[in-house]
Amino acid sequence: MTDAPDTKTSTPASPAGTAGTAPHSASPLDLDAYLARTGWSGERRATVETLRSLHRAHLEAIPFENLQPLLDTAPSLALPDLQDKLVRSRRGGYCFEQNTLFTAVLEAFGFRVTRFAARVVLGAGPGDVRPRTHMTLAVQVPAAAPGDPVRTYLADVGYGSVGGLYEAIPLVADVEVADGVRSHRLIRRPHHGPSDLWTLQARQGGVWTDQYTFTEEPFEHPDFEVFNWHVGTNPRSPFRYGLIAQRTFPTRHLALHNRTVVETREDGSAEERRLGDDEDLVAVLARDFGIELPPGTRFPTDLTGA
């Protein structure tokens, strides 16, 4: 997620609706349906190239969007519900949905996945401390041959920003990596906690820009159920009062915030256009973002910001 809820809020409602929700591994994954949705084909082996190509295919096929919390409530993170929404329907989701589904896919391929909870720092002011409201993944790639090292990569198909990863990158500090037309690096810094702090940076306009930070502490499915409930129901959460949609293509990126669409090309140039009424918004979501909503969908009247 590109935004984090304001921490100066009252305590959100108890996640009663998530109690007893099965973890993503409790139900079988329809891997064939997922691969058809993303258009991925190849040998189903846990290799670096498989990880990178799965990452690209997912990003290009399944859009980022927050329409469910905006129009209703927090989305379900149960695997059957994620498959119905992200795989079988022309819909997308935000980080908890996207990366929970992607975790199930990677595990089906034989990768070992650890979930981290990250703090989005993009756009944060000096001294701002945001909560951990983003899920990112550490993926272990098995050794190709006996004696070879097990390599760990950072993967993230749920970061709704042009600064997000296009491909998984090695979890190694201070190395610039070209992932598609994007460039990223990870910085490891001392931290007041027991472990160092990792920061994902993206090179944008020739400048390295911090995206989010995390430590190597494993978080489990129930942890993200709580985070998801807060982000999806707290009235102060950006995902409750602003429309956000993103679509990644090999040479361009589309971002929708409320009624403004920004197209960023691989050379860094950008073009902005303003949308009109709700019918125009629904049509653009379907045509440009691959997000189909029922005819007559109505959005909050205060979607007026850029």
Q: What percent of the chain has pLDDT over 90?
A: 76
pLDDT of 181: 84
**Higher per-residue confidence, 282 vs 266:** 282
Q: What percent of the chain has pLDDT over 70?
A: 90
The secondary structure of 198-224 as a DSSP string is EEEEEEETTEEEEEEEE-S--B-HHHH
pLDDT tens digit string along 84-124?
Answer: 999 999 999 999 999 999 999 999 999 999 999 999 999 98
- Give catalytic residue positions: 95, 134, 156
pLDDT of 304: 56
> Does residue 24 carry a pLDDT above 60?
no
pLDDT tens digit string along 193-224?
Answer: 888 999 999 998 889 999 999 999 999 999 99
- Give residues with Cβ within 8 angstroms of 24, minimum separation 6: 77, 78, 79, 82, 100, 101, 103, 104, 221
Please name the residue that has the structure tokens 């499915």.
221
> Does residue 17 carry a pLDDT above 80?
no
pLDDT of 127: 83
Q: Considering only CA atoms, which of 229, 281, 301 is closest in space to residue 73?
A: 229
**Higher per-residue confidence, 21 vs 235:** 235
pLDDT tens digit string along 124-176?
Answer: 888 889 999 999 999 999 988 888 888 999 999 999 899 999 999 999 999 99
Most confident of 6-20, 54-68, 182-196: 54-68
Angstrom distance (rounded) from CA 177 to CA 255: 23
Q: Is the pTM of this model over 0.85?
A: yes
Q: How many other C-beta atoms can be found within 10 angstroms of the C-beta atom of residue 275?
A: 18
- Give residues with Cβ within 8 angstroms of 191, minimum separation 6: 197, 215
> Does residue 229 carry a pLDDT above 80?
yes
The secondary structure of 225-237 as a DSSP string is HHHHHHHHH-TTS
- Give residues with Cβ within 8 angstroms of 68, minimum separation 6: 74, 75, 93, 232
Length of the chain in terms of residues written: 306
Q: How confident is the model at residue 14 (pLDDT cuts 50, 70, 90)?
A: very low
Q: How confident is the model at residue 5 (pLDDT cuts 50, 70, 90)?
A: very low
